[in-house]
Chain A
Amino acid sequence: MEPNWFDEEAGPMVRLYALTRGRTRPASEAFDLIAMVVADTPYGPESPYGEELGLSPESASILNLCRYQPQSVAEIAAELDLPVGVVRVLLGDLLDAGLIRVSRPVPPAMLPDERILREVINGLRAL
């Protein structure tokens, strides 16, 4: 009998990257873990995403997740229980299709705006 060349762990992994048609990197750009994603579709709230757009259930779930509230890439990955790498590829497709908007985190060089840091410190104190 031939020994299995993969174990149980390989199953979901193969399936996950089948979702992305074998791609491990997004077509356009990398999404930071805290890049905020919000759905940007011309369809109304009643319209179920996915069906008419021909999206995979996972991509439709992403759109639904960030329909009303911007979500970070990390949260989307955790919520969908998908590896970040897979989510990035799916997000790349959604971005290319014009279905989402992404706000990038502030570039490190200009990151700590004094006013914002003050706000963060006060916010933490008030918790």
Chain B
Amino acid sequence: MASVHSDATSANPTATPADEPALALKILVAGGFGVGKTTLVGAVSEIRPLRTEEQLTEASRGVDDLGGVEQKTTTTVAMDFGRITIRDGLSLYLFGTPGQDRFWFLWDELAHGALGAVVLADTRRLQDCFPSVDYFERRGIPFVVAVNCFTGARTHAVERIGRALDLEAETPVILCDARERDSGKKVLIALVEHASRLHAARMLA
């Protein structure tokens, strides 16, 4: 007997999957090495962040710049990702982009069709997020800058960070704690709202 209870389909082996196509949206989390991308993905993801391994693993050993972020011992060379299910058939996927500029060529594939991006910044090494900012600006991909306020790191005024990064006026800058789920949620909401505004503006143009 066919089941009509949508909440039972996931556990019901007789249900035919994908009668209506599942919709997945992609959000990128970019920024310099060791800035907390995987932490942010993990804080908001309903699944433990997964890692997809390309052959780049270990390729960067001994090359990473760990100045000021001594606690981090491993590097993100592949893609770490997490998932947030909005409802049955609508999910948000978060991808942590590779930390090193050398792997920029991976981004195009990642960025293709992305709803938007979060550029995580660390005020101690603000310049580390320049390549990400450049990248998304050039491609017209909506992004927000989230300043990860590490314990002990100075909290800079949002406007000053925006100026230092030479951001376009409408690009949101948000202070966050990448370890906190609520904080991460706020960042994502700000991004989707920003993407929504940009999209509406483009439709009118």
Distance, CA A105 to CA B27, complexed state (A): 13
Q: Mark contacts of A97-111 with chain B using CB atoms, 8 A cut-off: 1 yes-contact digit, 0 otherwise.
A: 000010101111001
Return A113 CB to nearest CB of chain B, in Å.
Answer: 9
| A interface footprint on B186-201 (CB within 8 Å = 1, 0 otherwise) | 0011001101100110
SS of B interface (majority): mixed
Q: Is the interface of A mostly helix, strand, loop or mixed?
A: mixed
Range, interface on chain A: 35 or more
Number of A-B contacts (CB under 8 A): 134
B93 at the interface (CB under 8 A from A): yes
Number of residues from B at the complex interface, CB < 8 A: 49
15 sample A-B contacts, Cβ–Cβ < 8 Å, listed by A number: A33-B110, A34-B24, A35-B24, A67-B17, A75-B83, A83-B52, A83-B55, A84-B54, A103-B21, A108-B112, A116-B25, A121-B193, A123-B84, A124-B86, A127-B84
With contacts A38-B22, A74-B93, A101-B18 known, what are 9 further pairs, Cβ within 8 A?
A: A9-B58, A34-B24, A34-B113, A35-B24, A70-B17, A74-B95, A111-B115, A121-B196, A127-B84
Point out residues on B near A: beta carbons under 8 Å: 10, 12-15, 17-18, 21-26, 44, 50-55, 57-58, 79, 81, 83-84, 86-87, 90-93, 95, 109-110, 112-115, 181, 185, 188-189, 192-193, 195-196, 199-200
